[in-house]
Structure 1
């Protein structure tokens, strides 16, 4: 069972998240809080696998709480859940140790998928958030673009096709439909792409694709 801490200053939002996650069958919401300070304290006192953390909260906002949260409960995986999808927030969340970033208008199944991914040690960034980040970094110095193109030369033609769709912010399932592949096959391609490009996650790969002018 995946143990989750939900932290949001709106009780109605917390109730909705609890209902969605409980419906999954393999996820249990073990604690709730309404501030970043509570997130740190509850994560320290409960053995949680994943923390769903809002950005804008009183006392201590989600982004400011992330470093403290990682120190207080290093085994817990923080997922940022917010209505604010600006690229600066996404990048700040990832830099400060977030395991992923979802917008509150994400589908319920995406929320469940993100929690499962984080609990298994992976990272999750919603396709819409990926698009925000990629679009914000479209204009690059020539040297950076040249370096990106050199790194992409390590990929085969099919891998480049998959990477181009990552650059558009597509999920594995959507990329599979576009390329007439199974989701599992796309996932295998993504793993090989990350290894060849020395990227930590699909977001870094998507940014590299945009740097090189591939797709999108």
Structure 2
């Protein structure tokens, strides 16, 4: 059973998510709240936190994501699909990001993926990351920034696909190589960047992007 906490300042959204998730036998909402305080005041254990990015404020709660992601898996479900919001949430530690207009089955898939330690973006949001990650600037993959661990061109390409949420089999088809080769690239990347799961790999890719574009 996957236990879920839902934090959203709209009561209708909270009830809607609970109704949706309880239709699946393996999902159970154990906490509903309008703010982070409701989560902190609760002693209920949960596996996934569904969090709205804007909680009764015009400030995205990226600082809260950074704090909470250290102790739980965070899935952002937000009305905002703005690139800056998606990138800020992922950089802050979110394990997934889905917009509120996404199909119901996609939200369920996202919860299960995040609960299993994976990383999830809906297709449109993956496109946002792809545009960012597929626009190499000076020094990308060349090792010209001595602060960045050097990756080969194929490893950089693999890291970009991982960050967009593709499976190893999907990456293999896109790169026209075997899945075993992709597995090897990913292990090399993890070793070089000293990261583990998909969420960490995604943040590593975004960090490389940000640093290579720094003046």
Q: Give the TM-score normalised by structure 2.
A: 0.69
The whole-number CA distance in structure 2 between the counterparts of 1:99 and 1:167 is 13
State yes or no: 1:15 paired with 2:15: yes
Q: Judge which range, 11-20 or 131-140, deviates more.
A: 131-140
1:214 aligned partner: none
1:207 offset after TM fit, Å? Answer: 6.5
Q: Per-residue displacement from partner, 1:74-97 (whole Å, max 9, x unpaired)?
A: 2x2111111212232222222322
Say how many residue pairs are matched. 195
1:122 offset after TM fit, Å? Answer: 2.4
The whole-number CA distance in structure 2 between the counterparts of 1:153 and 1:136 is 16
State yes or no: 1:65 paired with 2:77: no
1:189 offset after TM fit, Å? Answer: 7.1
Secondary structure at 2:55 match in 1: coil
Verify the 8 A CA contact 2:141 2:151 in the aligned structure 1. no
Correspondences of 1:111-130 after superposition (within 5 Å): 111-130=107-126
Correspondences of 1:148-187 after superposition (within 5 Å): 151-153=151-153, 163=158, 166=161, 169=164, 171-172=166-167, 175=170
- Among residues 190, 197, 203, which one is paired with 2:189 in the alignment? 197
| 1:194–1:173 CA distance, 2 compared to 1 (3 A) | closer
Q: Per-residue displacement from partner, 1:62-115 (whole Å, max 9, x unpaired)?
A: 3232234346xx2x2111111212232222222322222111222222211221
Q: Which runs of 5+ in 2 are unaligned?
A: 211-215
Verify the 8 A CA contact 1:77 1:99 in the aligned structure 2. yes
Verify the 8 A CA contact 2:119 2:165 in the aligned structure 1. no
Verify the 8 A CA contact 1:79 1:101 in the aligned structure 2. yes
1:50 offset after TM fit, Å? Answer: 0.6
The whole-number CA distance in structure 2 between the counterparts of 1:204 and 1:194 is 14
| 1:173–1:145 CA distance, 2 compared to 1 (3 A) | closer
Q: CA RMSD in A?
A: 4.0
